[in-house]
Amino acid sequence: MDFSISRETEELREEIRQFIKDYPPDEFPVQAADDFWGNGGYSYEYTRKMGEAGWLSLTWPEEWGGRGRTILDKMVVAEELAYCRAPHSFNLMLDGMSNHIITHGNDYLRKEILPKIAKGSIVFWLALSEPNAGSDLLALQTKAEDRGDVFVVNGQKIWSARAHMADYGYLITRTDPNVPRHKGLSMFIVDRKLPGITIEPIINLVGENYHNHVYFDNVEIPKEFLLGKKNEGFYQMLKGLEMDRFWARYQKPAICKRVLDDLIDYCKNNSRNGKPLYQNSVIRQKLAQTATEIETCRLVFYRMAWMLDQKVPIRHETAMGKTFADEMGQRLMDLAMEILGLDCQLEEGSKSAPFKGLFERWYLISRGHTIAGGTVEVMKDTIARMGLGLSKK
């Protein structure tokens, strides 16, 4: 395992830093705020600008218009974007979807969808979880009936993040109810504008529409939008979940490092009871502990990036990374509340709110991070079973 950064990768780091200088993130409109994943806010305009500069297809094979760079290269770019809070949250799903389409898609999907992803002109949402199928996705009931040139879909999805803002969904359905649960599933790319799709908002703790209910009522999906082979979606889903847990968390160390640096700066410039905060022994120890956790988390994801580049399967490793990153983020927000005091509970727009109320928002949002994408309890069970060999039987 070699974590040293090559000259080419360092040049790429300088290239993305120049891009950030040329196109300051604060100058772009944001359609939805930063949710503390490390991807910044949601900005169609910034996503398109990144597409124009070739950043969205960085790791794609050259035959599909990419630059053929490594996953480690992608991580270095992502760290720079996350630290400056660039509004590139739409990129998260674009990374995962492009990988799936390149790997499992037919020529039609590759030619029709990949160029749009590369340009940043479309965005995606996940249509996986259902009211009775969350951690146990095999219990899903949404059905797709094969009717020749189309599949007719009926059912409901839930917790579909930003579906109301997306163009296409990554949908899993049951296409054969007469076989064991894991053998009758199929994956589709679904156009949100198709007749029969209804989206209803779910309002979160900060009063925003992040997740959604999505209903499918006789939705006709052209056969060309079947992703992979019919009834083999289970294996694609597993790989997709592992990749999602990697792509959705690999920027967490960088944004946490930014928060840590902000807190350190605050402690250097503020006092309590006539004594600078940075001289408080408890605060110093907690800041040092946080710095250690952030660097550890960063190396966990660097190892996974190396494994992906070497074509080594990642199984329980993504569960480790997700669990560590999500719990670390929650602990960091707890620490921010302790250091900043009661004023940290003031919302955005309040005159005395530290950091313009950002940490109050992130504290509330981070409570759901250990649930999204697989609960921390399920993740730890995955680690026990697949990493430690601890069978339940």
Do 138 and 214 lie in a common domain? yes
Q: Token pair of 32, please?
A: 């939805």
Q: Is residue 393 part of a domain?
A: no
Q: Which domain holds residue 178?
A: 126-239
Judgement on whether residues 223 and 286 belong to the same structural domain of the protein: no
The number of folded domains in the chain is 3
Both 148 and 202 in one domain: the answer is: yes
Domain match, 264 and 377 both = yes
CATH number at residue 151: 2.40.110.10
Residue 117 domain-assigned (yes or no): yes
Instruction: Report pLDDT for 240.
Output: 65
Same domain, 188 and 272: no
Examine the fold and report which residue of 239, 259, 288 is the final residue of a domain before the chain moves on.
239
- pLDDT by 10-residue block (mean), the chain, 393 residues: 82 97 96 93 96 95 93 94 95 86 93 95 94 87 96 97 95 94 94 98 93 98 96 82 76 97 97 94 97 97 91 89 96 96 88 91 94 90 93 79
Of 194, 178, 109, 191, whose CA–CA distance to 145 is shortest?
Answer: 178
Q: Is residue 324 one of the residues assigned to a domain?
A: yes
Q: How far is CA 309 from the centre of its chain?
A: 19
Examine the domain organization and report whether 280 and 208 are in the same domain. no
191: left (phi over 0), alpha (psi -120 to 50) or beta: beta
Would you say residue 2 lies in a domain? Answer: no
Nearest to 363 by CA among 390, 387, 389, 339: 339
Q: Is 88 among the domain residues? A: yes
pLDDT recorded at residue 314: 86
Count CB neighbours of 264 within 10 A. 18
Query: If you write DSSP's letter for every residue of 63-119 in order, what string do you get?
Result: GGT-----HHHHHHHHHHHHHTT-SBTHHHHHHHHHHHHHHH--HHHHHHHHHHHHH
Q: What is the CATH number of the domain that holds 256?
A: 1.20.140.10
Residue 352 lies in a domain: yes
Residue 86 phi, psi dihedral angles, 5° rounding: -65, 140
Residue that is last in its domain, among 204, 239, 274: 239
Last residue of a domain, one of 58, 87, 122: 122
